[in-house]
Amino acid sequence: MFPQKRRTRLMAFAAAGSLLALTAACSSGSGDSDDQANDDGTPSGEITVLTWRTDLVEDGTFDTYVEEFKAKYPEVTDVKVEGLTDYEGEVKTRMNTENYGDVLAIPGSVTPDQLGDFFEPLGTQEEIGAEYQWINDKSFEGQSYGIPVVGNVQGFVYNKRVWEEAGITEFPDTPEAFLEALQAIKDNGVEIAPLYTNYKDGWPLSQWDGWLGAVSADPDWKNKIVESDTPWTEDSDYGVVDGLIYDAVAQGLTEADPTTTNWEESKRLLGTGEVATMVLGSWAIPQMAAAAEAAGASGDDIAYAPTPVKVDGKFHSVAGGDYNLGINVNSQNKATARAWIDWFNHESGFSESQAGLSPIIDGPVPAALTSFVEEVELITLNPAPEGKEALFADIDTASGIVTTDPKFRQKNIDDARSGARTKQQIFDDLNAQWAEGRASVS
């Protein structure tokens, strides 16, 4: 038995200790990764990589990557890969501490002017731009903070068999032709719907944003919109996209009950032809093909088509980076982190395995996209002019529309179904909100 005094002192220690442990657990930064890279910059030691591809962590793909990386840089002791299901949300919260890995994909909610607070500059825009494409997004004041892991083209993924059975063999080249094609598929008898919105999961509705810029074939559309009070008109980028969604829903070309859609199931439905079309980036092709095979259908039925608008007799598609990898500004091992990014883009084979374009200039084009790339002119959006990098995001947030979020499209679909607002009323409302946002920002 302890003497009284020692016992009480122990109690106090225990209490203080547990409090300390708690606070330490909440605030421990990168203190545990103090092993630095060698002075000469040779990658060594240990890094942590945060990824949104939990599927690739689970199926062991990342283990292979780590092994190969370690084989190339034998002094690297460990690469810890953390897969995060709610990537955007979790990383954003962790970015309030210093502990958000060494290499991570830059979350979409980081505005360009915040990049420097959280991420290490990788080089000037010119330096990085000489080697990689699509780096403008994550650059600010001439410095580049992120390099995309894979490039996507935008359009829609469809079931070739179903489209051909309905007699459509050519890519529709106007929004009207697109709607007619969907109608023909419906008349031909499609089990669920010619076009599936994935309304319930929400984020697939934001995939329609990939069409923006392809409609007008204008690499500056985004820079012009921040100067305009009416982004939603009959033939503007936003107007065509949101108008098309409205018309398709109003004409009954989408699933009957959008509130019960299911993303995982939708992949199977497209493969088996119960759904004919979904608007998604080209990244979706391998997933759809795999789901088709798993459902006993043919993966070859899954095909990709460009945005149904021709400008000067040509289809266009915006090519752009997927998530961009950046380096935590608080990282203790930046040399190794940088080596991981370069290795990942040059040697991992990730972009090809994802049926995407390589972020390296003149990099390989995957087989699934070769014919697409031949027929469609790819455009890369121009960066925002200096001093206006964050303007779009600021107006977007201030207006309350939040175009990066599917909510406003869900509302449009609700109204298209119930007829509560006409297309013109929706455009007017959105324009009014946008104008208000612009006014409050400037």
Partner 1 sequence: MTTAPSGLDDPTTAAAQKSDAARTPHKPRGGAGRGTAWYRRLTPYYFLLIPVGLLLLLTFVPVLNMFWYSATDWDGLDKTKNIVGFDNYVEVFTDPDNVRVFYVSLYYFVASFAQMAIALYFATILSFNTRFRNLWKGILFFPYLINGVAIGLIFLNFLKPGGGIDTILMAAGLESLIQQWTGDPDVANFSLAGVSVWRYMGLNFVMFLGAIQSINSQVYEASELDGANRWHQFRYIILPSIRPIIGLSLILAISGALSVFEVPFVMTGGANGTETFVIRTVWMAFNRNMVGLASAMAVVLLLIVLIVTWIQRRVIPDEEVDLT
Interface ranges with partner 1 (CB under 8 A): 3-5, 8, 11-12, 14-16, 18-19, 22-23, 89, 92-93, 95-96, 109-111, 114, 117-118, 199-200, 202, 256-260, 397, 400, 402, 405, 407, 410-411, 414, 417-418
Nearest Cα neighbor of 206 from 219, 197, 193 is 197
Would you tell me how many other CB atoms lie within 10 Å of the CB of residue 328?
25
Residue 90 or 220: the one with the smaller Cβ distance to partner 1 is 90
Least separation, in Å, of the C-beta of 281 and partner 1? 20
Least separation, in Å, of the C-beta of 405 and partner 1?
5
- Rank residues 377 and 414 by Cβ distance to partner 1 and give the closer one: 414
> Residue 331's Cα: distance from chain center in Å?
24
Query: Is the C-alpha dihedral spanning 267, 270, 274, 275 positive or negative?
Result: positive
Q: Which residue lies nearer to partner 1 by CB, 91 or 214?
A: 91
Residue among 266 and 348 whose Cβ is closer to partner 1: 266
Q: Do 140 and 116 meet the contact criterion of CB atoms below 8 Å apart?
A: yes
Amino acid at the residue 46: E
State which H helix or E strand residue 350 sits in: helix 350-353
Closest CA to 286 of 105, 70, 56, 122: 56
When the beta carbons of 263 and 343 are compared against partner 1, the nearer one is 263
Q: How far is the CB of 145 from partner 1 (least distance, A)?
A: 14
Nearer to partner 1, 96 or 169 (CB): 96
DSSP 137: G
- Helix (H) / strand (E) element for 396: namely helix 391-399
Q: How far apart are CA 347 and CA 343, in angstroms?
A: 5
Q: How far apart are CA 290 and CA 431, in angstroms?
A: 41
In the complex, the smallest distance separating the C-beta of residue 422 from partner 1, rounded to whole angstroms, is 17
> Which residues are CB-neighbours of 235 under 8 A, at least 6 positions away?
215
Q: Least distance to partner 1 from the beta carbon of 357, Å?
A: 29
Distances (CA, A) of 154 to 128, 251, 313, 315, 378: 24, 24, 18, 11, 9
Residue 38, helix vs strand vs coil: coil
Cβ proximity to partner 1: between 114 and 233 the closer is 114
Task: State the nearest-atom distance from the C-beta of 412 to partner 1, in Å.
Answer: 11
∠ CA 307-135-224, nearest 5°, is 55
Q: Which is nearer to partner 1, 370 or 418 (CB)?
A: 418
Helix (H/G/I), strand (E/B), else coil: 171: coil
Instruction: Kindly state the smallest distance separating residue 90's Cβ from partner 1, in Å.
Output: 10
What's the closest the beta carbon of residue 293 comes to partner 1, in angstroms? 26
